[in-house]
């Protein structure tokens, strides 16, 4: 290359502006030039060890090959004769190594300059992306607005200010349809590191997203006078939120609902970005687990709660006969969410039905929510995953086990969903 002091000056200036290490840029340029040389001049480098040098004064880029000094050359790419070596350095002898300048003439300068340009642009993109990640690092767990850019398979790509964020399938609300240009609230869930570097992950299905919405709409939660103690959510379908007051005279449920339901309606409207409205039950938390279980089964009335096994967290609940189906809920959803909310397995019985009458009393716990043991609804899975499995043609536990054991791919099931399925089957 010809004199290129402007080249190095440009690197230093860009590095300073973008907060990039100039030495890191130069090293990346060397690697790029080396890669380009191997591609364009395969006959020159076959089997050889290459070194790229950049003249710090002139900015000239040159390529050298490490060659062994031999008596008779059998591999020109890796060897040099003693007589030729002495022309370059007189003190060399057989067995020594020498860096030989093999920089091509002609068009190589343009190729090297192009490689340098690409490296600099890539470093700028990486630096800007890193700066964005630093900006969001302290905001993980907060709610922010994102604009839907496009769909990437089953994932949704959002733009949040200057950052590009990914919403994986497991973080989507199943009933939602994401239109390009739509502006939605999302949870800044985490910053993950993958093959393409750091990636901002957002969610609308995580329980923490619902917690964030309550903090926005309910000042008492943000101030700490009302506290969310537990939450159980089946995104897009139904959620139960247990709250308690930390201040005298503050009604925790009334604070969350708001005057004429204005606060809870605002939260539900944010979740209604599709044909189905997610229902939210506000539950009064109680340190007495019997009272808490009774509250968690709302809107069903409860006659009594008996702790049958405190070590394994098992309880028996008696409800009026006409409240049995309401307490259980459609496909066992109400008792399933109540069990997740409290952390206890709940056996529900009607007031006049015998406990051993399996076909009539409607016994259900958090891990078995259907009368048919082979039904998918008997597993502790979210409604979204159950719908995905049904769409994939899997309608029974035995079918699901077979697919997992044979490591068959299930359409619409991502890695996180697969982990949840395996946990439910274990």
**Locate tokens 């964020």: which residue?**
165
What are the C-alpha distances in Å from 99 to residues 29, 31, 49? 19, 17, 9
For residue 255, pLDDT over 80 is answered with yes
Tell me the pLDDT of the chain averaged across its residues. 82
Q: Rounded to an integer, what distance in angstroms lies between the CA atom of residue 316 and that of residue 346?
A: 6
Tell which CATH classification among 3.50.50.60, 3.90.550.10, 3.30.1480.10, 3.90.1150.10 matches the domain 5-134.
3.30.1480.10
Q: How confident is the model at residue 334 (pLDDT cuts 50, 70, 90)?
A: very high
Higher per-residue pLDDT: 324 or 12: 324
Q: Which residues pair with 314 in a beta bridge?
A: 309, 345
pLDDT tens-digit series, residues 166-217 = 999 999 988 888 889 999 999 999 988 776 677 889 999 999 999 999 999 9
Higher per-residue pLDDT: 103 or 239: 239
Higher per-residue pLDDT: 156 or 199: 156
Helix (H) or strand (E) holding 319: strand 314-319
Q: CB neighbours (10 Å) of residue 164?
A: 14
pLDDT tens-digit series, residues 88-99 = 888 888 999 988
pLDDT tens-digit series, residues 60-75 = 778 888 889 998 888 8
**Locate tokens 């020109």: which residue?**
76
Q: Rounded to an integer, what distance in angstroms lies between the CA atom of residue 59 and that of residue 25?
A: 13
pLDDT tens-digit series, residues 379-426 = 777 777 877 787 777 877 777 887 887 777 787 787 778 878 887 777
For residue 314, pLDDT over 50 is answered with yes
Segment among 113-117, 285-289, 409-413, 420-424 with least mean pLDDT: 113-117
- 207-283: CATH class: alpha beta
Q: Which residues pair with 144 in a beta bridge?
A: 186
Q: CB neighbours (10 Å) of residue 383?
A: 19
Share of the chain above pLDDT 90, in %: 37
Q: Where are the domains of the chain?
A: 5-134, 138-205, 207-283, 286-369, 375-426
- Looking at residue 381, its pLDDT comes to 75
Q: Is 158 strand, coil or helix?
A: strand
CATH superfamily name and code, 286-369 = K homology (KH) domain (3.30.300.20)
Do 138-205 and 286-369 show the same overall fold?
no
Tell which CATH classification among 3.90.420.10, 3.40.50.2000, 3.30.930.10, 2.40.50.140 matches the domain 138-205.
2.40.50.140
Whether residue 159 contacts residue 182, with contact meaning beta carbons closer than 8 Å, is answered with no
Q: Which residues pair with 345 in a beta bridge?
A: 314
């Amino acid at each position: 290359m010809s004199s290129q002091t402007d080249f190095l000056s440009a690197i230093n200036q860009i590095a300073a502006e973008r907060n990039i290490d100039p030495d890191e840029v130069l090293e990346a340029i060397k690697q790029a030039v080396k890669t380009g040389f191997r591609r364009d001049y395969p006959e020159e480098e076959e089997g050889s060890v290459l070194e790229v040098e950049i003249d710090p004064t002139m900015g000239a880029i040159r390529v050298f090959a490490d060659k062994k000094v031999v008596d008779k050359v059998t591999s020109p790419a890796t060897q040099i004769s003693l007589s030729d070596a002495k022309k370059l350095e007189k003190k060399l002898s057989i067995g020594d190594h020498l860096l030989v300048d093999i920089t091509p003439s002609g068009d190589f300068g343009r190729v090297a300059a192009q490689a340098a340009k690409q490296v600099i642009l890539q470093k700028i993109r990486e630096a800007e992306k890193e700066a964005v990640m630093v900006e969001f690092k302290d905001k993980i767990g907060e709610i922010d607005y994102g604009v839907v850019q496009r769909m990437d398979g089953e994932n949704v790509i959002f733009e949040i200010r200057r950052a590009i964020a990914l919403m994986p399938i497991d973080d989507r609300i199943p009933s939602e349809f994401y239109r390009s240009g739509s502006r939605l609230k999302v949870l800044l869930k985490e910053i993950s590191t993958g093959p393409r570097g750091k990636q901002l992950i957002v969610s609308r299905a995580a329980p923490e997203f619902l917690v964030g919405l309550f903090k926005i709409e309910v000042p008492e939660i943000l101030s700490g006078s009302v506290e969310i103690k537990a939450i159980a959510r089946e995104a897009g379908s139904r959620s139960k939120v247990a709250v308690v007051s930390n201040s005298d005279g503050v009604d925790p449920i009334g604070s969350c609902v708001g005057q004429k339901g204005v606060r809870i309606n605002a939260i539900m409207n944010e979740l209604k970005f599709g044909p189905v409205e997610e229902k939210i039950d506000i539950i009064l938390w109680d340190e007495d687990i019997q009272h808490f279980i009774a509250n968690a089964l709302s809107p069903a009335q409860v006659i009594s709660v008996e702790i049958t096994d405190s070590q394994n967290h098992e309880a028996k609940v008696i409800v009026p006969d006409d409240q049995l189906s309401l307490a259980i809920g459609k496909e066992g959803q109400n008792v399933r969410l109540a069990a997740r909310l409290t952390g206890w397995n709940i056996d529900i019985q009607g007031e006049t039905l015998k406990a051993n009458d399996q076909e009539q009393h409607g016994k259900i716990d958090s891990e078995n929510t259907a009368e048919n043991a082979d039904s998918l609804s008997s597993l502790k899975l979210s409604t979204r995953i159950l719908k995905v499995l049904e769409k994939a043609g899997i309608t029974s536990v035995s079918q699901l086990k077979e697919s997992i054991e044979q490591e068959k791919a299930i359409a619409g099931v991502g890695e996180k969903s697969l982990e949840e399925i395996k946990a439910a089957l274990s």
